[in-house]
Structure 1
Amino acid sequence: MSFTGKSETYLETTLENNGFFPDLSLGDLQRLYRVPTEYHQEKVEHHLRLAMLDVNDDLCEQQTAWQSEGHATLAAVSDKTIGGNNILEEQYRRAVFCKTTATLFQEFATINRREVGENQAKESESTAQQYQAQADRALRSLRGVTTNITVELL
């Protein structure tokens, strides 16, 4: 129990990915992105799976390119690490976890309604937009795009 009186028991489930991208832990999502522990496990799993599918779809062409270069997994693409973790896998986790957090925060009002002050950050549209922007930046980084803005001639 935390000082807030709410449970701080993190989910221990790991969701299997497609073999190329890393498996992801619900507990890591909760710890790293402060996803409230009062969310039901099924809801968190569902949104994490959807985010994994979205990010995997967004990176489909990049995955094909990496695999054509002979890389069997995302971790094999680069040996660069930060804090002992592969940098591409960290960017992948960031993209998926931010997408998950953004959708969970947008839905919080439909899950549980309490006093506005307590849940304002959980329900805030700007909070969800910030997480979506972080997910987009992580995806751009994985694709090798170093700027935050891209222009295309149509």
Structure 2
Amino acid sequence: MSFIAHPPQSTTPAAAPAPAPAGIVENDGWFPDIALSDLRDAMRLDGTVTDARLVQAVVDAILHVNRELQQWQGQHAVAGVAAMADVPATRINRESRLLAQYRRAVYSTAKADLIERYRDYDTTASSLSDKKSMEALDEAPGAQRRNAQWAIADIVGRTHLTVELI
């Protein structure tokens, strides 16, 4: 019987990539990262939405928006553009309008998701003001998704068009 000697294997695990700074959801490197505190401020989200739930909603929103912009991104990447911030565009408040519109798409998509998920916690609507709040919750996710679609349309240069089946 013969044995083949193998070099000793390292018992130390491979170095993991450095985690993102707290409160940041890292994107794919081409699209911008999302700061949770900025999203909370912009979308008026309070502490009832935990960081864990917010991160999940943001990840899902990023995946959705990036998929919607995949072809547009590909066209720019093929042209040698390294990041969304480098795509030529007008600047508003010292940054590319595309970054502001991208954040709006992600923020709105995440908020729509959160509204839909949090709606099931209390659907009793015991008073008139509660009933009005419930009606607002019924309409709010659609309005947020519309805002996201309009932001995406603005990024890719498409006109705003909303069609609703009756």
* Gap change, CA 1:121 and 1:21, over 3 Å in 2: farther
Normalising by the residue count of structure 1, what TM-score does the alignment of the two structures yield? 0.81
RMSD: 2.4
How far has the Cα of 1:115 moved from its partner? 7.6
2: CA distance, partners of 1:114 / 1:123: 12
How far has the Cα of 1:123 moved from its partner? 6.5
Normalising by the residue count of structure 2, what TM-score does the alignment of the two structures yield? 0.75
Q: How many residues align?
A: 138
Which range moves more in the overlay, 33-42 or 59-68?
A: 33-42
Structure 1 stretches (4+) deviating beyond 2 angstroms? Answer: 112-119
Residue 25 (structure 1) aligns with? 35
* Gap change, CA 1:75 and 1:122, over 3 Å in 2: farther
Is this contact kept in 1: 2:85–2:99, CA < 8 A?
A: yes
The structure that has the greater radius of gyration is 2
Is 1:48 aligned to residue 58 of structure 2?
yes
Structure 2 unaligned segments of length 5 or more: list them. Answer: 1-21
Is this contact kept in 1: 2:115–2:137, CA < 8 A?
A: yes
How far has the Cα of 1:114 moved from its partner? 8.1
Of the candidates 89, 94, 111, which is equivalent to residue 101 of structure 1? Answer: 111
Residue 128 (structure 1) aligns with? 141
Structure 1 unaligned segments of length 5 or more: list them. Answer: 1-11
Amino acid aligned to 1:86: S
How far has the Cα of 1:13 moved from its partner? 0.4
Amino acid aligned to 1:62: W
Is this contact kept in 1: 2:119–2:137, CA < 8 A?
A: no
